[in-house]
Amino acid sequence: FVLPACEGGENLVFFYVRLGDHSRFMLEVDPTDSCARSNARKWYDEAWKVTCEDLHPTHPLRLTAAICRSIFLHDCEMDAPA
C-alpha cells in the first residue's frame, strides 16, 4: 500500500484526492452504494484536512482538493437518496 510510504502533505493530498475520485466515480455508477459514498466523503475530508494543515494557501493541490471535494458535495451529497 502506497500511503504509509508517503512523507509530507503534498503526496498524501494527491493520493487522498485520487482515492476520493475513485470512490466518487463508483458512486456515479451506482448512486445507492453507501460504501462508495462514505469512502468518498472520508478520503476528500482527509485530503482537505491535510491540505489545510500542510500546504500553503496558494498551493495548486489545495485548489485541486477544494474543487474535487466541492464536486462531490454538490453532485453526490445533495442528490443522496433519503
Mean per-residue pLDDT, 33-48: 94
Q: Which of 7, 23, 12, 22 is nearest to 62 (CA)?
A: 12
pLDDT at position 65 is 94
d(C-alpha 19, C-alpha 73), whole Å: 15
pLDDT in tens, 43-81: 999 999 999 999 999 999 999 999 999 999 988 887 655
pLDDT at position 82 is 47
d(C-alpha 81, C-alpha 64), whole Å: 27
pLDDT at position 77 is 81
pLDDT in tens, 3-17: 566 667 888 899 999
| pTM for the full predicted model | 0.84
In whole angstroms, how far apart are CA 67 and each of 5, 28, 33, 63? 26, 17, 22, 6
